[in-house]
Amino acid sequence: MIRSAFTIAGMTCTDCAGHVKQAIARLPGVRTVEVEYESAVLSIEADTALAVGTLNAALPRNYLVGSLATETARGAPPTDWLNPGVPRLAGVPHEAHPGAGLPLSIAIIGSGGGAMAAAITAADRGAMVTLIERSIIGGTCVNTGCVPSKIMIRAASIVHTRERSSFDAGISIGFPRVDRKLLLAQQQACVDELRAAKYEAIITDHPNIALLRGEARFVGLKRLHVTLVGGDSQIVVFDRALIATGARAAVPPILGLKDTPYWTSAEALVSEAIPQRLIVLGSSVIAAELAQAYSRLGSTVTVIARNGLFRREDPAIGEAVERVFLEEGIRVLRQTRTESISYADGTFVLQASAGELRSDALLVATGRTPNTEALNLDGIGVNTDRNGSVEVDEHLRTNVPHIYATGDCTALPQFVYVAAAGGSRAAQNMTGGEATLDLRSMPTVVFTDPQVATVGLSEAEALQEGLAVDSRLLTLDNVPRALVNFDTRGFIKIVAEAGTGRILGVQAVAAEAGELIQTAALAIHHNMTVADLAGRLFPYLTMVEGLKLCAQTFSKDVKQLSCCAA
């Protein structure tokens, strides 16, 4: 006979204890089951030891089992896996008491890409991890960011291709009917599936990871107070902590805006209707992607940019994207300030430096702000910048040595793969490593059509760093793949160090820029020169061949080369 003890999360009343007991009692080999509601402990006597994954598979999804201890029938009372060797007492808040010889206890605030990468890495290295999530599991990327936006963008691209293409002379065109509700259902089903497979199942199945649903606040250098969903509270004591709370849409202080039903990207991605008129405030990634998507789905779109599109990038990028937008009927108002906004009878009215503007929907995409204000970071001395972003070093460590941070709540570039890379490295460092996060060859992609992709330094950034530069810009009418696609919109630009030819950066606007940019990233990572790149073999009639051709322009006139000339 084996006696096992486990924690149970998710119970909200004594009836829940009964539901858990009934579900576990059905498992083969189980002799007795006891569920203590107040202490949230599940005790089982069975013929064989039961795995955490087996128990969670038997339970409804709203309950979550965590490991405690497995004893013989004459063993000690159940103990909390976050507090090994100390019996859990009914009515006493759940605490972790790190001590000598005990597994490292790590608290992670958040459950997005950075948090999950850290949790998996730390747990695999032997730590006991508590994830604390106040909202939906999975964070921004899978729920309200990368995944749903790329689905919507792809759907809009299909609509656009069916309405018009470069081959319309020989292929009849059509005007498809868009059923936004059905598209949204398809989108959300994929989101739900990915969240369940890549987040919820991993948390459920990993014996070293437990989940608390609630809002965390530091009340000491090694203590968190968690206000649980439902109103109860819990204390978690930790050896190390990771802040991975992400960010939310920033709302500019425009007169009247907060009194209107404006959208952020979260609302725009789940709207069941396509507005007839849409105004987009913003000029960067989210603004550009969703402006084009809504335009292709049927909205008349106006983009209001305080400067120009992608003003922080090489000027050629904004100019190229704006030309495409104008061709597609998207109006771009550059150097425009919005002075006030009102809403009445289903219409937004904007008073702007360009005059009065009206729309049926308004998307605010002017930046993001970190979710750090509720953490009491000032109270424990963790440094933040003036925007509230947590300051970290190259090891993802804050100024408080045992507290780390990653993702959009820091000043790191706001990409989920950066957050995840930071999370895994932070976890290595919290468990004895010295990993660093090198962003020198970090690629970026904007999923407009054509795509925008960059890596390394722009020409202006290189000059600001005091480097002597030599650059070339190759228009896509020199790239065979673009020619046979009858789509020569965009360019590829290489920024190199003058004299040595070392590649410093690449910028591209092209139909498949996101696919070619990783080759450029590897070239920068390995300190290749333009001569190195020009001498490599690239498959003919691929867009990435444009990188080779651009590298060749540093020493040749590619217009004088045959199609496959090396």
- pLDDT per position as a tens digit, 24-52: 987 877 889 999 887 788 999 887 777 77
Domain end residue (candidates: 337, 366, 395): 366
Q: Are 504 and 456 within 8 A, CB to CB?
A: yes
DSSP 497-559: ETTT-BEEEEEEEETTHHHHHHHHHHHHHTT-BHHHHHTS---TT-TTHHHHHHHHTTTS-GG
| Higher per-residue pLDDT: 198 or 99 | 198
The answer to whether residue 310 sits within a structural domain is yes
How far is 101 from 19, CA to CA, in rounded Å? 37
Whole domain around residue 61: which residue ranges? 1-91
Structure tokens that stand for 67 in this block: 């490991």
Q: Phi, psi (5° rounding) for residue 258? A: -65, -15
Q: Phi, psi (5° rounding) for residue 354? A: -90, 0
pLDDT at 9 (0 to 100) = 80
Confidence of residue 65 (pLDDT cuts 50, 70, 90): confident
Reported as a single tens digit per residue, the pLDDT across 46-64 is: 877 777 767 877 887 567 7
The answer to whether residue 555 sits within a structural domain is yes
Terminal CA-CA length for the chain: 74
Reported as a single tens digit per residue, the pLDDT across 203-246 is: 999 999 999 999 999 999 999 999 999 888 999 999 999 999 99
The answer to whether residue 566 sits within a structural domain is no
Q: What is the average pLDDT value for the chain, to the nearest integer?
A: 91
Q: What SS3 string covers 115-169?
A: HHHHHHHHHHCCCEEEEEECCCCCHHHHHHCHHHHHHHHHHHHHHHHHHCCCCCC
Q: Are 123 and 204 within 8 A, CB to CB?
A: no
Q: Phi, psi (5° rounding) for residue 396? A: 70, 20
Which residues are 192's β-sheet partners? none
* Residue 182 pLDDT greater than 60, yes or no: yes
Domain end residue (candidates: 76, 91, 106): 91
Structure tokens that stand for 321 in this block: 């994207």
The answer to whether residue 565 sits within a structural domain is no
Q: Phi, psi (5° rounding) for residue 124? A: -65, -20
Which amino acid, 518? Q
pLDDT at 59 (0 to 100) = 82
* Residue 352 pLDDT greater than 80, yes or no: yes
- 167 shares a domain with 72: no
- 357 shares a domain with 372: no
The pTM for the full model equals 0.82
Q: Are 83 and 41 within 8 A, CB to CB?
A: no
Count the residues in the chain. 566
Tell me how many domains the chain contains.
4
The answer to whether residue 284 sits within a structural domain is yes
pLDDT at 380 (0 to 100) = 96
* Residue 286 pLDDT greater than 80, yes or no: yes
* Residue 99 pLDDT greater than 60, yes or no: no
- 313 shares a domain with 426: no
- 372 shares a domain with 242: yes
pLDDT at 3 (0 to 100) = 84
Domain end residue (candidates: 36, 69, 91): 91
- 332 shares a domain with 185: no
Domain holding 267: CATH number?
3.50.50.60
- 469 shares a domain with 433: no
**Mean pLDDT along residues 328-335:** 97
**Mean pLDDT along residues 376-384:** 97
pLDDT at 155 (0 to 100) = 97
How far is 151 from 295, CA to CA, in rounded Å? 15
Give the number of other Cβ atoms within 10 Å of residue 407's Cβ: 35
- 59 shares a domain with 121: no
* Residue 86 pLDDT greater than 60, yes or no: no
- 204 shares a domain with 104: yes
- 227 shares a domain with 121: yes
Closest of 512, 472, 466 to residue 494, by C-alpha: 472
Give the number of other Cβ atoms within 10 Å of residue 118's Cβ: 33
How far is 36 from 17, CA to CA, in rounded Å? 7
- 527 shares a domain with 466: yes
pLDDT at 389 (0 to 100) = 98
- 559's CB contacts (< 8 A; 6+ apart) are 478
The answer to whether residue 531 sits within a structural domain is yes
pLDDT at 85 (0 to 100) = 35
Q: Phi, psi (5° rounding) for residue 141? A: -55, -55
Confidence of residue 319 (pLDDT cuts 50, 70, 90): very high
- 491 shares a domain with 432: no
Per DSSP bridges, beta strands 368-370 and 223-228 are unpaired
* Residue 73 pLDDT greater than 50, yes or no: no
pLDDT at 61 (0 to 100) = 59
DSSP state of 445: E
**Mean pLDDT along residues 120-148:** 96
Reported as a single tens digit per residue, the pLDDT across 543-553 is: 999 999 999 99
- Least-confidence region, from 53-57, 169-173, 319-323, 370-374: 53-57
- 99 shares a domain with 82: no
- 425's CB contacts (< 8 A; 6+ apart) are 395, 396, 433, 435, 436, 437
The answer to whether residue 286 sits within a structural domain is yes
The answer to whether residue 526 sits within a structural domain is yes
